[in-house]
Structure 1
Amino acid sequence: MKGANNYTTNRRNVLRYTAGASTIGLASLAGCIGDADDDDGNGNGNGNGNGNGNGADADELTITLSQFPDTIDPLDHITGDYFDIYDHIYEPLFDFVPGEGIFPRVAEDWEPQDNGTTEVYLREDVSFHNGDELTAEDVAWTINRTVDPDIGVQSPIGTFGLGSITGADAVDDTTVAINYNASAGLAEFEFGNYARAMNRQWAIDNYDAENEAISGADPEDFNGTGPYQVVDFVSGEEIVVEAFDDYWGDEPPFETVTFNSSGESSSRVAALETGEADVTMNILPEDVNTVQDADGVDIRNITSFRTIFCPMKNTVAPFDSQDFRQAMNYAVDNEAIVDEILSGFGEPTSQPVAPGINGYNPDLEPYELDIGRAESLVEDSGYGGAEITLSAPQGRYLNDAAIGERVADMIDQLDNVSCDVDIVDFPVVSDANQAGVDPDEFDIPFYMIGWGTITGDTDYGVQGFFTIPDNPARTFDDEELSDAILETQQIDDVEERTAALQDVNAMAREKAPFVFLHTQESIYGAESSLEWEPREDETIYVWEMSR
């Protein structure tokens, strides 16, 4: 498909700076820590009779997600489910293929200028859904809105995913100069995954200054350049999109696509079984057999780029001891968690990022269960008899509450540590993760959370957690680790930078800022006649599907 899969016709730019690096991936916000599940309990789609191959309309598709956007602003989130909807409306400038890199889409070409700037050259035939032509000024303003809090229509997500990008300028109608303070290779990882375009004047006109948000409740309140435009919108429940007649690329594979959500795996499975959904995500391992036994639907699964782990804030006791933090890792049997709680849908991990991410270190082995060593390290730390609590979310990740309970129970089996578990709503651990390392700012020093490395580069998986300058939200305070990460950001040579990132991951394993758990499996249910394979980056694109 021209546009959505434009990379098939022009690969000359792929991996200009990332060629030779290890496999690259994207966890499109999917990867990042998101908002709490929007559990409205309906999970029933729109009742249009799609799915199961029984009378399904070849021109219609229904996708049931686990969360529904609580904003209409495409730059007001870092949540995978939101991107799965909005990328069809506000399309990315580049096509990203996990393991291969970025390819032309709205951006036809791009070229570093050797001065902390890359020029991006846009297509000339791209229009917004309201009829306005896309210009370089729109793209530059969109990037500036994300990284500059004084732009006037600020993006609440801040610089997530664009950490090295300092701004952008329109050189002419179709040329954007993107400026950054790191290596061109790191910048390409970032803007190649996060760059999307809004209509500058339209966004300013629709900005609600009182609430500091772009908001609305009508289909006309959406205006992107993507292959689909919004035709029906029920806030918090459903978005219906139809193929955009003036789309610059090929006609998308389905005329109408409906997106809805349910926070319960069982409800998503029921929607799939009854034909009210054609695709649904985050099937729990215990529901896999139900889908496999149903007629006309099947399971599609792949190991994702999302890691699950338990940060330990080292500015408070007992987590200020490396011996104690390592002991917590030796106390946890990750093989048993994957086998018994996840039914094998996952892999124990040894470092902050998943296999397939640039800079992943294949030489690092996961911590193995060793109770004797764990108890000895606790004594060496001077914190024998410590009493700690692990806070774990419920309903955000695969069997997260059960995993949190098992982790706490395993630690509690140590003779010299007592560990309780506190099962909480996801926003509680999300807030704890963003509270930083100042003890006056947080109440929860030990919690379970997940992170998807959105840009496909280790930097995104470590800098927010570990770098010190200008980062009050870091979860770990260690100058050696922080300096090592910052040094990698300035390395231009691809192979040298990859090796340096592998060293960062090895250092992180040794310092044990987390209890490292596992990489999460992405488990989807799909109507059997649907041609589609899931991606490692958790992204769902309709243009990769067909009947």
Structure 2
Amino acid sequence: MRSFRLSALAVLSASLLVGLMMGCSGETTEVIVEKEVIKEVEVEKIVKEEVIKEVEVIKEVPVEKIVVATPVPAPIRIPELILTQTGNPVCLGADCASSVDEMDIFTQFTEPLMLLDPDNNLIPWLAESLVMHSPTDWTMTLRKGVKFHEAEYGTMTAKDVIASYYHDVREGTANKKRVPASMQEAVLTATDGDDGYVIDWKLSGAGTASLPNHLAAMRTVVTAKGYIDVVGEQTSRHPMGTGPFVFQQWQPNVKITGSRFDDYWRGAPPIQKVVWKIIPDAFTRKQELMTGGAHILRALEPDSFDEVNNNDGTRAISVLSSRYVYVVLDVDEAPFDNQKFRQALNYAVNKQEIVDTLFGGFGAAAVNGVTHPFLCENDGGPPVYQYDLAKAKSLIDEARAEGAPVDDVIKLYAPNDRYVLDKETGEAVLGYWKAAGLNVEYYPQSRSVLFPLALRSFTEYKADIDGPFLIGNGNGLGRAEFPYELWLENKDGGRGRAFASPHPASWEEDLDKARLLASCSDESKALLAKMNKDVVDFAPWVFLVNFNDLYGVSDEIEWRPWSTEIRMLYEVDIR
């Protein structure tokens, strides 16, 4: 087994390097090599009052001077690009982000080192390459000549990336709880000096094969070390980086604005100004788009899809999302510490009816487990816990007989301004649980209230919210083990310790193995199938639906959605 693992790692390392280099082949910065030529010169020497003319010939020596050329900015074709946003962000930084729709904004200002493209291919971004020597030992080479928005900070070098990473995973941040333990204690070293471009990454423990995936999932975004030294935690209120747009203003609950960065390393986009309008109401968002007040509408509701698509000047687009939603149960708190009761809560919910009635049969699909449907490790099997009210009631009776306080009031929480029909999905769960004979109260809240509580100290969380809550998991890593790391792993400060523990120790053993496997390998598929079955039977969640993300788009622009919810605006152009 050991020899096979080493072989798999070698294949992964080679394929990763080749993939990254291929990924950057079309995006390399233009490098101009100038030749400095020393020509023949005539020298006069005076020797004892005689003038002797000599010709001193110095051989031509080409001296390479590397000049990184900034791409020519595109002509401005869109004076103002307007996007709708469902709710007010918690913050605009990787260290404190509570959701991908915040990353969608701040990655336009501060960029990641790696990226998953629209086809879910892993590509280098601010990194030029990333080579895995082993799961604990990686070498990163950065792009040269990438300018920061504020000229006083110059261009990006190793010291900026190292400072940004340590800032974004520092103790006490929500972000530190997202990364695997091996990355929490990572040591980064600039091998060619602070102002160089090569960084060694040393991960702790057994390491992970998914370092580039975590970097693509915005676990860190790059700003200047000097800027961090000056503003500290305020980087998440006033982001400054290398992105295509310069942050201008954030008016809470109103809008966020940015302006074009003319020295953007990929070439400035054809957009002068970008505006995110914060509009929680779905009808108002739709009207903004259909009347010309917005160009890209996220979270289009299914019953408006045809209306937007048939409207003169707009179109509707659908893409399989990397996100599903579920209800988190605290398995260490009664009555949710009873496995039969947790299973009953699953059987009581008619997921297909939610898909058909709320999502029109096409805006979502019932989930078939923990592994996201867009990944090759998902076997395409039937939905888990298919609706069975009689079985739900029977399991509730069994749990009651075992002493579980199933008749106590259950408080159910859900966001009302983050996901498509999130409040309504929570209401549906409420109705199904009541139909099973349970006493349930419902507390929909703004994501800006609910999510910080879910992502900060879990001791505080349990003091403030004492019941199950609806939330989503978007797999921005493109790795099948990601939800296990984020929501199920029993690690210090992690959500898995807070809500999914105690659980069998085999979960961590399997997860450690999964981190070292190449995606889509037969071994990965087999192991993830086992992990999925174990967790589904344990039922730490009430499994609900995976989205098809629906967007409304103005016919004035050309743009395509990404399954990760990130709207990379450098791609936008006039149609």
Q: What's the TM-score once normalised by structure 2's chain length?
A: 0.76
Q: How far did 1:135 drift? A: 0.4
Q: Supply the distance in 2 between the matched residues of 1:438 and 1:75 (Cα, whole angstroms).
A: 19
Shift of 1:481: 5.5
Q: Deviations over 1:45-102 (max 9, x none)?
A: xxxxxxxxxxx96454222222344545454314323222221221222232255432
Between the aligned partners of 1:527 and 1:273, the Cα distance in structure 2 is 8
Identify if the C-alpha distance between structure 1 residues 156 and 263 changes in structure 2 by more than 3 Å, giving closer, same or farther: same
Q: Please tell me whether the aligned partners of residues 378 and 384 of structure 1 are also in contact (alpha carbons under 8 angstroms).
A: no
Structure 1: how far apart are the matches of 2:551 and 2:436? 37
Corresponding residue number in structure 2 for 1:180: 203
1:161 to 1:84, Cα distance in 2 relative to 1, 3 A: same
SS in 2 for 1:206: helix
**Structure 2: distance between partners of 1:283 and 1:499:** 36
Indicate which of 463, 467, 476 corresponds to 2:500. 476
Partners of 2:135 and 2:203 within 8 A in 1: no
Q: Which residue of 1 aligns with 2:132?
A: 112
The letter for the 2-side match of 1:192 is A
Q: 1:350 to 1:17 in 2, by over 3 A?
A: farther
Shift of 1:351: 1.6
Q: Which residue of 1 aligns with 2:38?
A: none
Match of 1:519 in 2: 546
Quick one: distance in 1 between partners of 2:287 and 2:461?
Answer: 45
Find the counterpart in structure 2 of residue 369 from structure 1: 387
1:198, distance to aligned residue in structure 2 (A): 1.0
Residues 77 and 270 in structure 2, CA contact (< 8 A), matched pair in contact too: no
Residues 421 and 227 (structure 1 numbering): CA distance in 2 closer, same or farther, change over 3 Å? closer
**Could you say which residue in structure 1 is the equivalent of 2:214?**
190
* Alignment CA distance shift 1:247-1:472 (3 Å): closer
User: Which residue in 2 is equivalent to 1:233?
Assistant: 249
2:113 match: 93
Match of 1:406 among 419, 422, 428: 428
Pick one of 311, 325, 332 that aligns with 2:342.
Answer: 325
1:25-64 matches, within 5 Å, as 58-64=78-84
> In the alignment, what sits opposite 1:261?
278
Match of 1:113, SS? strand
Q: Determine the structure 2 residue equivalent to 1:339.
A: 356
Which letter does structure 1 place at the counterpart of 2:273?
T
What secondary structure, in the 3-state scheme, does the structure 2 residue paired with 1:317 have? Answer: coil
The answer to whether residue 221 in structure 2 is matched with residue 199 in structure 1 is no
Q: Tell me the CA shift for residue 305 of structure 1.
A: 1.3
SS of aligned partner of 2:201: strand
Alignment of 1:4-153 (within 5 A): 16=16, 58-69=78-89, 71=91, 73=93, 75-114=95-134, 116-131=136-151, 132-149=154-171
- Asked if residue 421 in structure 1 is aligned to residue 455 in structure 2, the reply is no
Map Cα deviations across residues 323-351 of structure 1 (whole Å, 9 max, x no partner): 12111111111000111122221000122
Greater fraction helix? 2
Distance across 1 between alignment mates of 2:348 and 2:456: 26
Q: Which has the higher contact order (CA 8 A, sep 6+)?
A: 1
Paired residue secondary structure (2:176): coil
Per the TM alignment, residue 357 of structure 1 is displaced from its structure 2 partner at its CA by 3.5
- Distance of aligned partners of 1:108 and 1:14 in 2 relative to their CA distance in 1, 3 Å threshold: farther
Contact 1:358 1:456 (C-alpha < 8 Å) held by counterparts: no
Deviation at 1:161, TM superposition (A): 4.2
- Aligned-residue sequence identity (percent) comes to 23
- Name the CA distance, whole Å, in 1 between partners of 2:179 and 2:280: 26
The 1:228–1:333 alpha-carbon spacing in structure 2 relative to 1, beyond 3 Å, is same
Normalising by structure 1, report the TM-score: 0.80
Q: 2: CA distance between counterparts of 1:395 and 1:459?
A: 28
Contact preservation (8 Å) 1:147, 1:162: no
Q: Is the 8 A contact 1:284 1:399 kept in 2?
A: yes
**Residue 397 (structure 1) aligned to one of 419, 433, 437:** 419
Alpha-carbon contact 2:481-2:515 (below 8 Å) kept: no
- Residue pair 2:315, 2:552 contacting (<8 A) in 1 also: yes
Task: Describe the shift of the 1:238–1:405 C-alpha distance in structure 2 as closer, same or farther (beyond 3 A).
Answer: closer
Moved more, 155-164 or 75-84: 155-164
CA contact (8 A) 1:99 1:356 kept: no
Q: Which secondary structure does the structure 2 equivalent of 1:448 belong to?
A: strand
Q: Contact 1:164 / 1:187 at 8 angstroms: preserved in 2?
A: no
SS of structure 2 residue aligned to 1:277:
coil
**Residue 531 of structure 1: aligned partner:** 558
Aligned to 1:52: none
Taking the aligned partners of 2:156 and 2:541, their CA distance within structure 1 comes to 44
Shift of 1:116: 1.0
Q: Distance in 1 between matches of 2:333 and 2:447?
A: 23
Offset, 1:450: 1.7
Decide whether the 8 Å contact of 1:491 with 1:497 is kept in 2: no
Aligned to 2:533: 506
Unaligned runs of 5+ in 2: 1-11, 20-75
In 1, are the aligned partners of 2:324 and 2:546 still within 8 Å (CA)? yes
3-state DSSP of counterpart to 1:366? coil
Answer yes or no: is 1:379 the counterpart of 2:397.
yes
Q: In structure 2, how many angstroms separate the alpha carbons of the residues matched to 1:63 and 1:13?
A: 39
Residue type of the alignment partner of 2:291: T
Q: Distance in 2 between matches of 1:471 and 1:440?
A: 13
Gaps of 5+ in 1: 1-11, 20-55
Deviations 1:349-404 (A, max 9, x none): 12234212464343463221112222222233225963442333323322222222
Which segment is superposed worse, 133-142 or 405-414?
405-414
Equivalenced residue count is 486
Within the candidate set 294, 299, 315, 1:282 is matched to 299
Q: Which of the two has higher C-alpha Rg?
A: 2
Aligned counterpart, 1:491: 516
2-structure distance, mates of 1:397, 1:254 = 28
**Partner Cα separation in structure 2 for residue 461 and residue 17 of structure 1:** 25
Aligned 1:308-323 pairs, distance under 5 A: 308-323=325-340
User: For the aligned residues, what is the CA RMSD?
Assistant: 3.1
